[in-house]
Structures are given as C-alpha cells and as structure tokens.
Amino acid sequence: NAGVTQTPKFQVLKTGQSMTLQCAQDMNHEYMSWYRQDPGMGLRLIHYSVGAGITDQGEVPNGYNVSRSTTEDFPLRLLSAAPSQTSVYFCASRAQPGLAGNEQFFGPGTRLTVL
Amino acid sequence: AQTVTQSQPEMSVQEAETVTLSCTYDTSESDYYLFWYKQPPSRQMILVIRQEAYKQQNATENRFSVNFQKAAKSFSLKISDSQLGDAAMYFCAYRRITGGGNKLTFGTGTQLKVEL
C-alpha cells in the first residue's frame, strides 16, 4: 500500500492563478480531509469528506473547493490563489467511524507559495 | 468549540534523559480521543500515541507515555530515554467520537530539541 499520496510536493503560483492539489489513498478509507499548516498555528481543517459524493466545510474553507467522486481521490482546488494561501497542505484519511481510535493517516504534504 | 493549548513553544532535553510536553484542552464532550503527533523535518505527521477519554488507564507506547487528567483537561506526553531521533515538532490533538466529521483540532506545537 502506498498509503496517502499527494502531488505536487512543491508549487509556486502567482496571485490569481488556479490549481488543484491532488490527494489519493489506497486503503479504502471513507473519511478524507485537507488541512493547512501555518507557522505558529498548528494544522487547521479546510474541508473534509465522509464518503464519495459527500463533502463539508471545515474551519478555514474560504478560497478552496473540493469534490469526492471516488473513494480514492480527494482533490483540493484553489480557484484564485492569494498570498494568504501560502502554506503547507496535508491530506489525511481514516477508516469509517465505529472503529475505536482508528488512526488518521497523513500524506507527505504540499508546500505552496503564492507570490 | 474545542480548543487545544500547548504552552511550551520549545523544549530541550539531554540524550537519555526524560522530558514532558504539556497539553491542555477545552471541550464540553464527555467522550473523545486525544493524540500526540510527531512531525520531523521531513514534514511527515506520525502518530505517537492516542488516548480514549473513557479509559482511565494512561496510554503507553514503548518510551512514550501520557498523563491523562480528564477532570483537569490535561494530556501531557512523557518521553523517556530521549534519543536524537526524537527531535521534532510535537502536536497535541483532539477529536470527537461522534459527529464532527474527520476534524482533528491541533495545538500550536512544541519544538523538541535533543542535545548530546
């Protein structure tokens, strides 16, 4: 199993450009999430999905879109990049609820810089 | 809303010594999970240890153990026999058991340095 994979690892954008951060998992996990990590602020939840076709907003959703057409993939779209979106982005997944304490697996992260 | 507080931005420990990282949290839930994650310079988030709030016994994983004080809403991590490979950023995190989707609420982290 590859676990949770993210592409690209690094990306530089200009203000106003759009792009998609890719996330895939091969563990058949129902739950997937996107977090951003900023210095001194820990990780904050952007969007999450509890299954294919179901998504919801997290703590900091503005400026980001998501969709979940398959169990495996959960892309994060930046429609019009802004310097405030410069951050490290993590995708995470875990098995469906009911499994006590089931672990959340994180991808390796994408470092995004918006100029 | 749940909050997680780590009041120690940086800690240092001598190799082979013991260090304790502090974490407090605020919640109105009675059942939840608490976690400690390690983030080395590679950026990978690695689960170190987890605690179910309904369990009174403190979780232990090899050299890592927690002191879980539910009434005080405190969840500290003790690292025994510290090794150079333990140097990393450590995050305390909280998750509800029901509802809340996949949301982990993180503290701001403690940077642990291990000295020879």
Q: Which pLDDT does position B101 carry in this prediction?
A: 64
- Mean pLDDT, chain A, rounded, equals 92
Per-residue pLDDT tens digits for B66-100: 999 999 999 999 999 999 999 999 999 999 887 76
Strands A110-114 and A10-13: parallel
Closest CA to B65 of B6, B19, B10: B19
Per the CB < 8 Å rule, is A31 touching B101? yes
> How many angstroms away from the CA of B94 is the closest CA of chain A?
11
Place of tokens 């098995």: A95
Question: Any idea how long chain B is?
Answer: 116
* Chain A environment of B95 (Cβ under 8 Å): 104
* Chain A environment of B107 (Cβ under 8 Å): 42
> Is B1's pLDDT higher than 80?
no
CB distance B77 to B69 below 8 Å: no
**Cα B90 from Cα B59, distance rounded (Å):** 17
Indicate the SS3 state at residue A83. Answer: helix
> Is A98's pLDDT higher than 80?
no
Q: Which pLDDT does position B105 carry in this prediction?
A: 93
Q: Grade residue A104 by pLDDT with cuts at 50, 70 and 90.
A: confident
Per-residue pLDDT tens digits for A39-95: 888 899 999 999 999 999 999 999 999 999 999 999 999 999 999 999 999 999 988
The verdict on A45 touching B (C-beta cutoff 8 Å) is: yes
Per-residue pLDDT tens digits for B4-37: 999 999 999 999 999 999 999 999 988 899 999 9
Place of tokens 């091969």: A26
Q: Which pLDDT does position A1 carry in this prediction?
A: 73
Strands B110-115 and B10-14: parallel
- Mean pLDDT, chain B, rounded, equals 93
* Residues linked to residue B68 through DSSP beta bridges, in sequence order: B75
Per the CB < 8 Å rule, is B104 touching A104? yes
Query: Please, which residues have CB within 8 angstroms of residue A30's CB and are 6 or more apart in sequence?
Result: A50, A51, A71, A94, A95, A96
Closest CA to A47 of A14, A84, A21: A21
Per the CB < 8 Å rule, is B52 touching A100? yes
**Cα A28 from Cα A43, distance rounded (Å):** 24
